[in-house]
Amino acid sequence: MRFDGKRVIVTGGANGFGEAICRGFADRGARVMVTDIDGAAAQALADDLDGALSFELDVTSEEGHQELAQLMADEWGGIDIVATNAGLPHRGGYLVNLTTEQFDFMWTVNVRSVFFAAKYFTPHMPPGSSIVSTASIGGRRPRKGLTPYNASKGAVITLTKGLATELAPDIRVNCVAPVSAATGFDMNAMGKPELSERMEKMVVDGIPMGRRAVPTDVANAIMFLASDEAEFLTGVCLDVDGGRSIG
């Protein structure tokens, strides 16, 4: 999988899955626009990658997406690959205990951001381009305690399939559905930087491969779907779950 000269946007790119995605594309020859709401972290990562730039992007901002689209056109003449990776869960708990504001904000981050990316980036994407979003295996096989989050990721999967039909054959649209990983997700969902030993065991026991995902698992899947090797794949949701969705 080589991406020599390809112009890539990664949202939520400063850490976790996003950092691995940025590094993976850059290592394979792409020019990467590292975007994140933490502009300083995005800049620090871009400084560490050959040919990369950074942009402070709040994915809930329509104007931010418009500005980034124009920047890509001005600086690099267009966009070849978009990895819409930014997202977050709500604090774990039953749906009925969430506030309306928590529900709406999480959906705005996880779902409306994909809409903004498609609306403002695709006019600058030539035939053969690709969009790959980060959904979640919870969008396919939800578990209690994260119902609104899982529903938002189910919406990302549906958006992917619908966009694939609308943008074909010029632009391919796919997504990945990762299982739980030890990233910032734990802090957002549980309020702790890592799971307790008991909770870790409960999660891992449900994954046939015997471990949680790591960022490179997700990055490798996204790069495959964006690569020429996957040129006949569109509307695909690739489970990166170690078999969690089997049972």
- Residue 133: which domain range? 7-240
Confidence of residue 184 (pLDDT cuts 50, 70, 90): low
With a CB cutoff of 8 Å and minimum separation 6, the contacts of 23 are 49, 219
Q: Is the pTM of this model over 0.85?
A: yes
Is 98 inside any structural domain?
yes
pLDDT, position 144: 85
Segment 170-196 shows an average pLDDT of 76
pLDDT, tens only, 94-112: 888 989 998 999 899 999 9
With a CB cutoff of 8 Å and minimum separation 6, the contacts of 50 are 26
Angle at 232 between CA 208 and CA 84, to 5 degrees: 65
Residues labelled catalytic: 149
Segment 28-33 shows an average pLDDT of 98
Is 65 inside any structural domain?
yes
Whether the Cβ atoms of residue 219 and residue 156 lie closer than 8 Å to each other: no
The sign one gets for the Cα dihedral 144, 146, 149, 150 is negative
- C-alpha to C-alpha distance for 129 and 228, rounded to whole angstroms: 10
- C-alpha to C-alpha distance for 138 and 152, rounded to whole angstroms: 9
Segment 58-73 shows an average pLDDT of 98
What kind and span of H or E run contains 33? strand 31-36
With a CB cutoff of 8 Å and minimum separation 6, the contacts of 122 are 129, 131, 167, 171
Is 247 inside any structural domain?
no
Whether the Cβ atoms of residue 134 and residue 84 lie closer than 8 Å to each other: yes
Segment 76-91 shows an average pLDDT of 93
- C-alpha to C-alpha distance for 75 and 169, rounded to whole angstroms: 26
pLDDT, position 38: 97
Question: Residue 66 sits in a domain of what CATH number?
Answer: 3.40.50.720
Tokens of 161: 């399939």
pLDDT, tens only, 141-166: 988 888 999 999 999 999 999 999 99
Is 246 inside any structural domain?
no
7-10/171-178 β-pairing: unpaired
**Alpha helices (H) along 28-146:** 39-47, 62-76, 100-107, 113-121
What is the number of domains present in the chain? 1
pLDDT, position 236: 98
* Predicted confidence (pLDDT) at residue 92 exceeds the cutoff of 80: no
**Alpha helices (H) along the chain:** 16-27, 39-47, 62-76, 100-107, 113-121, 147-167, 184-190, 197-205, 215-226
Is 1 inside any structural domain?
no
* Predicted confidence (pLDDT) at residue 190 exceeds the cutoff of 60: no
Region of 81 (left: φ > 0; alpha: ψ -120 to 50; beta: rest) is beta
pLDDT, tens only, 112-129: 999 999 999 999 999 999
- C-alpha to C-alpha distance for 135 and 151, rounded to whole angstroms: 10
